[in-house]
Amino acid sequence: MSSLHTFDDSHLLSLLENSNANAFDVLYNRYWDRVLSLAYRKTGDLMEAENIVQDVFVSLWKRRKSLKITSDFSNYLFISVKYRTLKFLAKKASARSISLDLASDLLDNSTQEYLEFEEIRERLEILVDKLPEMGRLVYKMKSEDKSYKEIAAELNISEKAVDAHLLRARRKLRVELGSFLGCFFL
C-alpha cells in the first residue's frame, strides 16, 4: 500500500474500479481532511459534516465499477460534498420552516383560545353583575377564596345562608353561560 501513495488520482481511480481497497484508502486519506473542512464550514456541525463526507466516500466505493470521472478527482469530490451539504441544508431549512409553521399554528390557536376565554370571562363578569345583590356579594367573596365562615361574618348572615346564595348564583350563572357557550361554539 505504501507505494500507492505516490500514484496520482487517475491511476488510483482505475485501481479502485477493480475493487482495490488499498487505492480507496489512499484516496480517502488524501482527501478526508480537506472535504471535511469544506463540509464543516458550510454546515457548522462537525458530526453532520462527518456524515456528509462519509456518505460521499461510501457512495464512491459502492459505484466504483460504474463511476466515470472525466474531470479532476478532487473537483469531483468537492462538488459531491458541496451537493450533499446543500441537500442537508435544504432539508434542515425545510424542517425549520415546518417547525415555524407548526409554531405559528399553535400560536394562532392559543391566541384564538385566549380571545375566546376573554370573551367568556367578560360575559361571566356581566352575568355576575346582574345577580341579586346578596348572591353577587357572596359569589365575589367566594371567588376571592374566602371561607363560608368569613363570608357569613362579613355579611352578618349564617353559613347556611351563604351556601344557599352561592348555590343559587352558581345555578343561574351555569344556565346563562350554558346558553351563551352553546351559541358561542356553534
What are the DSSP calls for 106-145, one per residue? HHHHHHHHHHHHHHHHHHHHHHHHTS-HHHHHHHHHHHTT
- Both 164 and 82 in one domain: the answer is no
In a domain, 144, yes or no: yes
Q: Give the per-residue pLDDT at 72.
A: 81
Distance CA 141, CA 166 (A): 10
Yes or no: say if 134 and 126 are a contact pair by the CB < 8 Å rule: no
> 146 is in which domain, residue-wise?
130-184
Q: Which residues contact 148 (CB under 8 A, 6 or more apart)?
A: 159, 162, 163
**Tens digit of pLDDT at every position of the chain (186 positions):** 457 778 888 888 888 888 888 988 998 899 899 988 888 988 888 999 899 889 888 988 988 888 777 778 888 888 888 888 888 877 777 666 655 555 555 555 544 555 566 677 788 888 888 889 998 999 889 888 889 999 999 999 999 999 999 899 888 888 887 766 655 444
Whether the model pTM is above 0.75: no
The domain that holds 175 is classified in CATH as 1.10.10
Q: What is the number of domains present in the chain? A: 2
Q: Give the per-residue pLDDT at 42.
A: 85
